[in-house]
Amino acid sequence: MSMPSRLCMVHSKIHMKDFWKDRIAYQIYPRSFQASGINNGHGDIPGIIFRLPELKDLGIGIIWLSPVYKSPDADNGYDISNYYSIDSKYGTMADMERLFAEAAKRDIKIIMDLVINHTSDEHDWFQKSRDPSSPYRDFYIWHPGKTAPNGKSMPPNNWRGFFMNEVWEFDEKSGEYYLHLFDKKQPDLNYKNPNVIKEIKNILRFWLDKGAAGFRCDVINIIYKTSLEDGKKSMAVQGIEHYKSQEGNHEILRELRRDVLDKYDCFTVGETVMVDIDEAKLLCDKSRRELDMLFYFEHLEIDRRIARFIPKKFRASKLLEVLAKWQQSLEWNAIYLENHDQPRIVSHFGAGTCSRDGRPHKYWARSAKMLAVLELTLRGTPFIFQGQEIGMTNFDYKSLDKVNDVESHSLNKLMKKMHIPGFLRWTWIKASSRDNARTPMQWDSGENSGFCKAKPWLDINSNYKYINYASQKDDPSSVLNFYKTMIALRQNNECLKYGGFFPVFADKRLMIYQRRLGKEGMAGAVYTIALNFSSRKAKIPKKAAAVLAGELVISNAEKFIGKSAQWGAALSNRILLPWEGVVFKN
């Protein structure tokens, strides 16, 4: 599994100009972050400004802001009806400008969410395009239906969408169907039309001129549809071979880079759906000038079937294999364990369960810290999702009517059609729902967890009395303070930031890897990281124990920095405590 040393040297090259390699990013999902004053139970932009000091204190240098544009919210803002305007529930354009300015004062850059595979059906372009003679008709993908054997009209092809949905909607006014890979209120744009690309360039320029430092590009490897032919039969996203990572898609990314992005000091991180390593290499190859880095999904799907929907057994060895592949194949990675579409990582890979009254598992904190060690010792730009730094867990709802996520409801509908019993549907939805990540931020133990004054748009997890920012702020042993320590450790360490990645050992619950930085033929820095993904002690095999030597830099099980008595005693027996994570400087 290890990488030849020449490649390691390539990996070790530091591009100091790339500010985004040198900073820690933090994703804000605005509707759940912080409401200001007495408003409507939604987070907003003044709320974000209010919390900038907390982000600075954590060590954040980049914010990825999920959509705040005008939107009817069929998919919580990922359905944009005006790219140039701020939705009133988040504030005004003046608030947004103030956010750029206040963040800049603290040396925090902001990247915007660029959602351009589709717009809202309420976008002016789409409304106009419903008229077949409009110049906007070709902004979207309209198509006549096929005639079924019974003479009725049926959709143009057999594709299925990302929400397990039908992808064609018939529009009475037009007499044709339009394509929507997501919800029917999210019609796909037509990237064969140069006028669409022209408009997108204007949107990019607008936000870069306002002060954006780049973009997180939503589902950016599926925007170009090469053909509309039937897809191969598939359980999941049927038809994807006609639009995933197509040559036309690469060309558009290069064009946006050449004509707009290259003129600014900015970067892009692509969200790339079902991307494989070869596609990723093309998308991120520096010389091709497409994306600077990308979010892939494979590491979060090692214990899931059909994307993330159905759980299966976790194995640390599988996780290390997947991580090693991505770490070693790409020059630079976007590192993440959580975002607004994924379950909370401490509930997913850690000990994130809570008792009925919300009291967390005895290893909740330690496992959350171990996952911090993992995220902050990988090569790439770490993206922390709001609440991850305090170990927030999956929601504790008892029934589907508490769930807002359009995807969960769509999945439920499909499973019902397939006669899957209710208890199983609910078990799978609980494990996969995107609302797990979207419950409001738990700032304190007061009313509505300090998130808002009115009824929150989505129920707050009842464990907020135990898991919240305020109670962790001054507790040196908290998850929050561990994150701060890990961030500081990484930020002051060239090897943890830029060193090559080398897997050492893994079994079903133990994982050991190294980061190495040095000039060819010369001794350089080496760090060894060992993580126990279980509530049982883990024995380190003799052959791997040799690398756990030198200075213990950090352990989550005892003190933060320095040698821990407990580790000292355990070391001679080559034992990692339950959920322990350690970093050694060799």
Tell me the closest approach of the beta carbon of residue 508 to ligand NOJ, in angstroms: 31
CB-wise, 218 or 558, nearer to ligand NOJ?
Answer: 218
Residue whose CB is less far from ligand NOJ, 71 or 564: 71
Least separation in angstroms between residue 411's CB and ligand NOJ is 13
Three-state SS string over 342-354 comes to: CCCHHHHCCCCCE
Exposure class string for 329-349: b at 16+ Cβ within 10 A, else e? ebbbbbbbbbbbbbbbbbbbb
Q: Are 451 and 35 in contact (CB under 8 A)?
A: yes
Q: How far is the CB of 224 from ligand NOJ (least distance, A)?
A: 16
Shortest distance (Å) from residue 182 CB to ligand NOJ:
5
Q: Which is nearest to 201 in space by CA: 244, 258, 146? A: 258
Query: 73, 218, 405, 407: which one is catalytic?
Result: 218
Q: What is the size of the binding site for ligand NOJ (CB under 6 A)?
A: 9
The pair phi, psi for residue 188, each rounded to 5°, is -75, 140
Catalytic-labelled residue, pool 113, 176, 183, 271: 271
Q: Is 309 among the residues that bind ligand NOJ (CB under 6 A)? A: no
Q: By C-beta, is 272 or 472 nearer to ligand NOJ?
A: 272
Residue with tokens 């954590």: 58
CB of 350 to ligand NOJ, least distance (A): 22
Distance CA 100, CA 114 (A): 17
- SS3 for 499-554 is CEEEEEEECCCEEEEEEEECCCCCCCEEEEEEEECCCCCEECCHHHHCCCCCEEEE
Using the minimum distance from each CB to ligand NOJ, give the nearer residue, 76 or 328: 76
Q: 268 to 307, contacts with ligand NOJ by CB under 6 A?
A: 271
Indicate if the alpha-carbon torsion angle 149, 150, 151, 157 is positive or negative: negative
Tell me, residue by residue from 464 to 483, as one string, x for binding to ligand NOJ by CB under 6 A and - for no binding.
--------------------
x/- track of binding to ligand NOJ for residues 105-134 (CB under 6 A):
----------x-------------------
3-state secondary structure of 486: helix
Give the residue with the Cβ less far from ligand NOJ, 240 or 583.
240
Chain residue whose CB lies nearest ligand NOJ: 78
Residue 33 or residue 482: which is nearer to ligand NOJ going by CB?
A: 33
Which of 343, 337, 357, 534 is CA-nearest to residue 463?
A: 357
What is the nearest approach in angstroms of ligand NOJ to the Cβ of residue 340?
6
Instruction: Write down the least CB distance from residue 77 to ligand NOJ, Å.
Output: 9
Look at the block and give the residue holding tokens 């352990």. Answer: 555
Task: Give the three-class secondary structure for 53.
Answer: helix
Residue at token pair 């930085």: 517
Q: Which is nearer to ligand NOJ, 122 or 444 (CB)?
A: 122
Residue selected from 218, 375, 389, 580 as contacting ligand NOJ according to rule CB under 6 A: 218
Beta-carbon contacts of 287 under 8 Å, excluding residues fewer than 6 positions away, are none
In terms of DSSP H, where are the helices of 106-153?
A: 124-129
371 vs 367: CA distance, rounded Å: 6
* Contact residue for ligand NOJ among 73, 75, 95, 338 (CB under 6 A): 75
Encoded one letter per residue, x for contact with ligand NOJ by CB under 6 A and - for no contact, window 163-202 reads -------------------x--------------------
In sequence order, the β-bridge partners of residue 406 are: none
Phi, psi at 110, each rounded to 5° = -125, 130
Distance CA 298, CA 333 (A): 13
Report the residue number, 304 or 497, with the smaller CB distance to ligand NOJ.
304
Copy the structure tokens of residue 586. 């060799």
Instruction: Please tell me whether residue 78 binds ligand NOJ under the rule CB under 6 A.
Output: yes
Q: Which of 25, 63, 219, 526 binds ligand NOJ (CB under 6 A)?
A: 219
- Annotated active-site residue 247? The verdict is no
Which class for 523: exposed (0-12), middle (13-18), buried (19 or more C-beta within 10 A)? exposed
- Report d(CA 271, CA 117) in Å as an integer: 11
Q: Which residue, 340 or 509, is less far from ligand NOJ as judged by CB?
A: 340
Shortest distance, position 71 Cβ to ligand NOJ, whole Å? 11
Instruction: List binders of ligand NOJ among 244-273 (CB under 6 A).
Output: 271
Residue 341 binds ligand NOJ, judged by CB under 6 A: yes
Please state the closest distance from residue 29 (CB atom) to ligand NOJ, in A: 9
Examine the residue annotation and report whether 321 is marked as an active-site residue of this protein: no
Print burial letters for 276-296: b (CB count within 10 Å at least 16), e (below 16). Answer: eeebbebbbeeeeebbbbbbb
Enzyme catalytic residues: 218, 271
Q: Please report, as ranges, the residues that interact with ligand NOJ according to CB under 6 A.
A: 75, 78, 115, 182, 218-219, 271, 340-341
